Structure 1
Amino acid sequence: MTYPTVPTDPGVTRQVLAEDPALMLVAFRFETGAEGKLHSHAHVQSTFVRSGRFSFTIGEEVHEIGPGDSVMIPSGVTHGCRCLLSGELIDSFSPRRDDFL
């Protein structure tokens, strides 16, 4: 199944790649300077940087990450990012983010 690409925040799009009630895989594409606003959710999240460069805030820590890097975000932890160089993040969520469907 192919899911549509939808705008989220200015300069950011989201596309669900695969989903099951237990797990979801999502591509987020960012233009340079775009932000993923600080937020939290009940889902455990893993983020893999496919391309680009990002400043990622997870709780009180800030990490600069690039292609091939990944981060794990526990349930309920506030997080967000700023895109330093346009690129793509591949996020997995457990369980599935039903609000993305």
Structure 2
Amino acid sequence: MKNIVKKENAVSRQFLGVDFVVLSIGKDSMVTKMLYKATDNVPFHKHPNEQSGYVISGKYNLKFGGEEFALSEGDTYSIPANIEHSIEIIEAGEVVDVFTPIREDYL
């Protein structure tokens, strides 16, 4: 199975007021690029998907598991499925997120 998405064909979406693009969808995983604005707010939430990310640009405070993590360019993270988490945008930027399984609410 091949799933190639050229950047001009990436599907733009919005969730909780945050703009993002769906980059590709495989059998069991999904890749997205979050386009965080300084005014975005992602409150505590959880989903049945493991979420791993790579910070391309910007600065963020990620909270989960009773801890807070300062993230910036080049940092990565993994959030287990069904764990409450939130992200505070300190400086606008972009983050690539991979979800397993696919987030149906992002389609």
TM-score (norm 2): 0.86
> How does 1:8-47 map onto structure 2 within 5 Å?
8-10=15-17, 12-47=18-53
Residue equivalent to 2:14: 7
Query: Could you tell me how far 1:47 is from its partner in structure 2?
Result: 1.2
Q: Deviations over 1:39-72 (max 9, x none)?
A: 1111111011110000101121110100000111
> How does 1:50-89 map onto structure 2 within 5 Å?
50-89=56-95
What is the distance in 1 between the residues matched to 2:105 and 2:14? 14
The residue identity in structure 1 corresponding to 2:67 is: E
Check if 1:98 corresponds to 2:73. no
Q: Percent identity?
A: 26
Structure 1: 5+ residue stretches without partners? none
- After the TM superposition, which of the residue ranges 29-38 and 46-55 deviates more from structure 2? 29-38
What is the distance in 2 between the residues matched to 1:55 and 1:33? 14
The total of aligned residue pairs comes to: 100
Structure 2: 5+ residue stretches without partners? none
Contact conserved, 2:13 with 2:106, CA < 8 A, in 1?
A: no
TM-score (norm 1): 0.90
Give secondary structure in 2 for the equivalent of 1:38: strand
- After the TM superposition, which of the residue ranges 44-53 and 30-39 deviates more from structure 2? 30-39
- After the TM superposition, which of the residue ranges 1-10 and 62-71 deviates more from structure 2? 1-10
The structure where strand makes up a greater share of residues is 1
